[in-house]
Amino acid sequence: MKKTLITLFVVTSLLYACGGGAGSDTGNGAPAKKDVTQNPTYIAGLDLVSKSGCLTCHKANEASTGPSYKSIANKYPNNVETYELLSLKIIKGGYGVWGQVPMIPHPDLTQETATTMVKYILLLKD
């Protein structure tokens, strides 16, 4: 009996450790999504895109002049290559990926600032 309890304890704590490492929740992922708004990168990035006029052309969930941030997030993997690609695109502007409407350049943004914006956008992935 004692052995069984110990085994149970070990298994449970292992499961617990795995769940905790992957994010605040396991399971269907819905509760973890809700937590995204508490992520410091989300808060910092949202503040930056609000202050920098990005929201005149981009909405989080629906296309306007530019693609929605959610569709951008779903198009790219969340990795360093994407941070670099998209932060440079924000700084230099460009067109042709989503259509013929160009995105204006933002040459006064540093790559670090633009990268924070990109990380925020990628958090909106479905």
List contacts with ligand HEC (CB under 6 A): 49, 52-54, 56-58, 65-67, 72, 86, 89-90, 94-99, 101, 103-104, 106, 117-118, 121
The single residue listed with the structure tokens 């306007």 is 64
**Is the Cβ of residue 121 or residue 123 nearer to ligand HEC in the bound state?**
121
**Is the Cβ of residue 19 or residue 93 nearer to ligand HEC in the bound state?**
93
C-alpha 122/C-alpha 24 separation (Å) is 18
Q: How far is the CB of 60 from ligand HEC (least distance, A)?
A: 12
Q: How far is the CB of 41 from ligand HEC (least distance, A)?
A: 14
The region, left, alpha or beta by phi > 0 then psi within -120 to 50, assigned to residue 62 is: beta
Render the burial of 4-26: b for 16+ CB within 10 Å, e for the rest.
eeeeeeeeeeeeeeeeeeeeeee
**Is the Cβ of residue 56 or residue 79 nearer to ligand HEC in the bound state?**
56
